[in-house]
Structure formats: structure tokens, C-alpha cells
Structure 1
């Protein structure tokens, strides 16, 4: 029935800052950008190399995301990477803090976390 994940939707508090983060820092490709005048907000469609998408929404004064302690709902966004150390070096070059690398006790794969501009936890998982 289900074929895969088509997209994940993210609401940001500062559209320009988040757009820069996802496009310039993480390197996602812009598919479309729309200003929705009725809502006074943007919708940015971003593409990953595997054709999954991220929809980045801006809304006026969205409530902060409860992260610590973790709340029910989506826990984090995880990206597959070829080399976790290359991505970590890239993030450090952009002054983005990254948690220490850990090993998944079940798969033996390396992973780590960092946050987007609004504190959304993002995982890097080396495949």
C-alpha cells in the first residue's frame, strides 16, 4: 500500500534563516517557492537526492516546538549520509554544533544529531 515517504513538513519561525540553513548549508534543491498572501506566509518545496521532499512553511508567531523533554509526535528528522565525518566537518564550518558520534547498538552504524535554526532535532545516519 505505502510506497515510501513523499515529504516531511517543517514550520519555521524565521523563514529566511531556515531557507538559508536547508538550501545553503544542507544543500537541498529548491523545487518551488510560493508566497501565500492570504496567510502572509511562504511555502518552500525542497528536494533530496533520493526524491524525498521537505516542505518548509513560515507562519506568523508559531508556538515553540516542545523538544526537551520530548513530546509525543514526530521525534526527529533523519538523513542517510555516506560519510558522517564529512558532513560533521561541513556543519562545523558553518558554526553548527553537532553531538558526539554514537554507534547504533543494533546495526553497528554511526549516527549523530544536530538542530535546525528552530531546534528541530536532525539525525545523520551513516549507511
Structure 2
């Protein structure tokens, strides 16, 4: 039998490397695994660790096109983070000047959730577990 799939990483292309690095490491508190500058591509790659061994690969590329629309464009809709205390996380984000939408309750699961954005407007979700 084939082993079940599990997430390994999520790749994000940022417009400003330093701003996004600060956001994902200082604001969200993700641990840096590796940081690489690739001169041939004039590109940074930052590998970040999330719980459970899942990683975020943060890239920059010169002249990368902007996301065409949101939030209902085809492709990845948003990246959700499971959190134990959504109120504490909302307070942490607010402390760092990150605007957070009002907390809502999922009608199917009764779980509380909210959305916020990274420096490039990528939709991110906090989902209380």
C-alpha cells in the first residue's frame, strides 16, 4: 500500500526579501533552517520550519509578477496555521502592526478562525484547534 501523503513545504514568492523574512521569522516566529542567495538567479531562498516538520520556502525573484486577484483566484486560496489560542495570536499580530479580520466561527466545524495578510498581501489564516 502506498504511504499517505503529508505536506512537506509551501513555497511563497515575496516581493521584498527583508520585509518578508522579518514577517515570517519575527512576527510569526518561524525558525530559519537555511538561507541561501543564488547569484545566478539573483534570488534568495529562505527555508523556514513550522510544527510537524512542514516547511515554508520563501523565495524572491527579480520582476516576479503580482498575484492577479484575491481571494478567489484559481490556485492556492490561502495558507492556514493551526493555533491553540487564536486570541493570543491575534494580539501578537496586532502588536506587530498586522491587521487581522474579525474572528469568525466555521459553520461546519464550530472552530474559530480569522484571516490576515503577509507583506505581499498573501492571504493567511489562523484556525483554532
For residues 80-99 of structure 1, the aligned pairs below 5 Å read 80-99=82-101
What's the TM-score once normalised by structure 1's chain length?
0.96
Counterpart of 2:115 in structure 1 is 113
TM value normalised by structure 2: 0.95
Q: What is aligned with 1:10?
A: 12
Where do 5+ consecutive residues of structure 1 fail to align?
Answer: none
Q: CA 1:2 to 1:66, structure 2 compared with 1: closer, same or farther past 3 Å? A: farther
Q: Distance in 1 between matches of 2:34 and 2:44?
A: 10
Q: What CA RMSD, in Å, does the superposition of the two structures yield over aligned residues?
A: 1.0
CA distance in 1, matches of 2:81, 2:7: 12
Q: Which residue of 2 aligns with 1:103?
A: 105
3-state secondary structure, aligned to 1:73: coil
Q: Distance in 2 between matches of 1:29 and 1:85?
A: 22
Give 1:62 deviation, angstroms: 1.0
- Structure 1 residue ranges, 4+ long, deviating more than 3 angstroms after superposition: none
Q: Structure 1 residues 7 and 107 mapped into 2: Cα distance closer, same or farther (>3 Å)? A: same
